[in-house]
Amino acid sequence: MCRWAAWSGAPKYLEEVICDPEHSLIDQSRNALSCKTAVNADGFGVAWYGDRQTPCLYKDVRPAWSDPNLLQIARHIRSGHFLAHVRASTGTATTRDNCHPFTHDRWTFMHNGQIGGYDRVRRQFDNIIPDDLYQARMGGTDSESLFLVALAYGLTQNPRAAMAKAVFEAETMSAQAGCKPHMRFAAGWSDGETLYAARYASDNFAPTLYYREFEDGVMVVSEPLDQARNCWKEVPQGKMIAVRQGSITETAFLNDETLVEA
């Protein structure tokens, strides 16, 4: 399990999410509260959108709190759209390529959760990725593979359906391989303009996912960055939100209804 946070709104220094809040992402890397793993110190990453269409990606294998470069960047970089992640490995190696977010052209993806028994379905699941995207496979995580499969399923055209189909496919393979829980998923993804976040599980224990509206933007997080619990709304299991220019749309992500379309 991991912790993540994303911002869409007026330009904000990264440190206003990563470092400054009472229960900032860095605090969560040491001491997460609503997470199976209190310590999320197997690397970190942040992708921010600035001048260029593609995001700038900074990630590394150290704990977020101990990387002096991250503190510098968080203090000096301001962005209106960014996604940040602290990782607790569920088994795969602590390498930069296994850290979140993952990026591809304009798109960014980060994840908290896992495909059940991924070791046993990895090969089968990787095989969905078409050759041209397979070149972009750098590490060995289920999360990177989910992103590439979603891209293969048309993420850039249909951000919900493609991701839901990737998740459903992984869940099905996990179930067929007899692994439990088949799927736990709380992910954020973005093209730099719209921020998507979804919450799902094949059982009743989807990882937590919250968002909060501020005057100048919207924050989406694994767990609240402060104790103002009333201000944070929980995304219901099976639902997703899309944040664009300050407006939030909540829709179904993956359920009986959406599966028909997907």
* Residue 106 contacts a second copy per CB under 8 A: no
* Residue 119 contacts a second copy per CB under 8 A: yes
Count the alpha carbons within 13 Å of 135 in the hemisphere toward its beta carbon.
Answer: 2
Provide φ and ψ at 148, rounded to 5°: -70, -40
Q: Which of 9, 10, 32, 29 shows the shortest CA–CA distance to 19? A: 29
* Residue 256 contacts a second copy per CB under 8 A: no
From the list 34, 69, 249, 255, which residue makes contact with a second copy (rule: CB under 8 A)? 69
Cα separation of 82 and 138, whole Å?
A: 22
**Residue placing its CB nearer to a second copy in the complex, 27 or 242:** 27
Cα separation of 174 and 166, whole Å?
A: 12
DSSP H helices in 32-116 = 68-76
Question: Minimal distance in Å, beta carbon 34 to a second copy?
Answer: 18
Please state whether 113 falls in left (phi above 0), alpha (psi between -120 and 50) or beta. Answer: left
From the list 18, 25, 26, 77, which residue makes contact with a second copy (rule: CB under 8 A)? 77
Question: Minimal distance in Å, beta carbon 250 to a second copy?
Answer: 32
Question: Minimal distance in Å, beta carbon 69 to a second copy?
Answer: 5
**Residue placing its CB nearer to a second copy in the complex, 62 or 212:** 62
Question: Minimal distance in Å, beta carbon 216 to a second copy?
Answer: 17
Considering only 53-61, 153-161, 182-190, 203-211, which stretch makes contact with a second copy by CB under 8 A? Answer: 53-61
* Residue 60 contacts a second copy per CB under 8 A: yes
* Residue 59 contacts a second copy per CB under 8 A: yes
Question: Minimal distance in Å, beta carbon 228 to a second copy?
Answer: 26
Question: Minimal distance in Å, beta carbon 52 to a second copy?
Answer: 6
* Residue 229 contacts a second copy per CB under 8 A: no
**Residue placing its CB nearer to a second copy in the complex, 36 or 76:** 76
Please list the helix, strand and coil fractions of the chain in percent, rounded to the nearest 5, in that order.
30, 30, 40
* Residue 97 contacts a second copy per CB under 8 A: yes
What residues form DSSP beta bridges with 213? 218
Cα separation of 220 and 208, whole Å?
A: 11
From the list 94, 158, 172, 194, which residue makes contact with a second copy (rule: CB under 8 A)? 94
From the list 20, 23, 62, 194, which residue makes contact with a second copy (rule: CB under 8 A)? 62
* Residue 177 contacts a second copy per CB under 8 A: no
Q: Which spans of this chain sit near a second copy (rule: CB under 8 A)?
A: 30-31, 39, 41-43, 50-52, 54-63, 66, 68-69, 72-73, 75-78, 89, 93-97, 119-120, 122-123, 127, 131, 134-135, 137-140
